[in-house]
Amino acid sequence: MAIATRPSRLVVVDLDPLKPGAPELAEPYEGCKHGLQVFQRMADAAGEKFPLDTYRVQSPSNGVHLYFRAPDDVELRNSQGSLAPLLDVRAGGGYIVAATSRRSDGVYRAQNSRPIAPLPRWLLDAMRAARPAPQPEPIPSPRAAPASATRGKRVQAYVDRIVEDELDKLKTVPKGVGRRHKARRDAALKVGNLVGGEHLTRADALARLLEVALTHVGTTTDAAGRVRSITTAQEVTTTIENGLDYGMKRPRVVTEAELQDRR
């Protein structure tokens, strides 16, 4: 399960081990075998405390994800290796795999239950100084279909309009028990059909859907202020991912001939 970091107002520091056979790191990170050690040296160089007192997740490959709350007044982007080796930052345009998610080599496990700490100021300053990543990172997925580069501009414009229509429906669906869940499911199914038809990648579809759907996270109350339902980020992400995957099994291929018939 993936979490979109920008809608969730998260900055996640992804710390990886040095791969077997990889060259040793140069100064100032000489001798470091893991991104945790690199991050420790960054904090030391800034004269700050090593910020481990926050929610942490361990990946199956022995990586560590440190979760921080993003500041409200700053737009941050992904940083892949530009801050330091063995250290990536997932922010605006990025995603992180959530705890309990499973892949072939193991499970992502929460290391603690601490609340998510605010992003340290020194790290924010370092991110601002680093060269931002030019493109959002896709979520690796063996099921992601490559977008076709051979289809015409009219077909792509029509597909884009379908996707935008589904996003508009998600933005405007009113609160109500079951209403938003159905809207999320229906949108993911329809967009998944287009992913199956190779009009866009699964990663791009997931990014665009989650950007809107995660705004549904929260509670629904009745006139007396009693909570009627609670929508979590995990629930939203699962619905979107399942809908996409189901829709991809029923591909929709839009052709120039179809557009001619619609005239």
* Residue 149 pLDDT > 50: no
For residue 232, the model assigns a pLDDT of 78
> Could you report the per-residue pLDDT of 155-169, keeping only the tens digit for each?
888 999 999 999 999
Average pLDDT, the chain: 84
How far is it, in rounded angstroms, from Cα 133 to Cα 77?
7
Q: How many domains does the chain have?
A: 2
170 in a structural domain: yes
Amino acid identity, position 210: L
- Long-range contacts of the stretch 72-75 (C-beta < 8 A, 24+): 72/9, 74/124
**The model scores a pTM over 0.75:** no
pLDDT at 117: 94
User: Is 158 found in the same domain as 112?
Assistant: no
CATH at 88: 3.30.2250
Domain membership flag for residue 140: no
- Domain that includes residue 184, residue range: 153-261
In a domain, 148, yes or no: no
Half-sphere exposure of residue 168, counting CA atoms within 13 Å on the CB side? 6
Q: If pLDDT is split at 50, 70 and 90, which confidence band does 143 have?
A: very low
* Burial class, 175, CB count within 10 angstroms (exposed 0-12 / middle 13-18 / buried 19+): middle
Same domain, 57 and 176: no
Same domain, 11 and 83: yes
- Based on the domain organization, do 224 and 256 belong to the same domain? yes
- Confidence category of residue 151, pLDDT binned at 50, 70, 90: low
If asked whether residues 12 and 110 sit together in one domain, one would say yes
106 and 165 assigned to the same domain: no
Nearest CA among 103, 136, 145, 158 for reference residue 245: 145
Q: What percent of the chain lies above the pLDDT cut of 70? A: 87
Domain annotation covers residue 222: yes
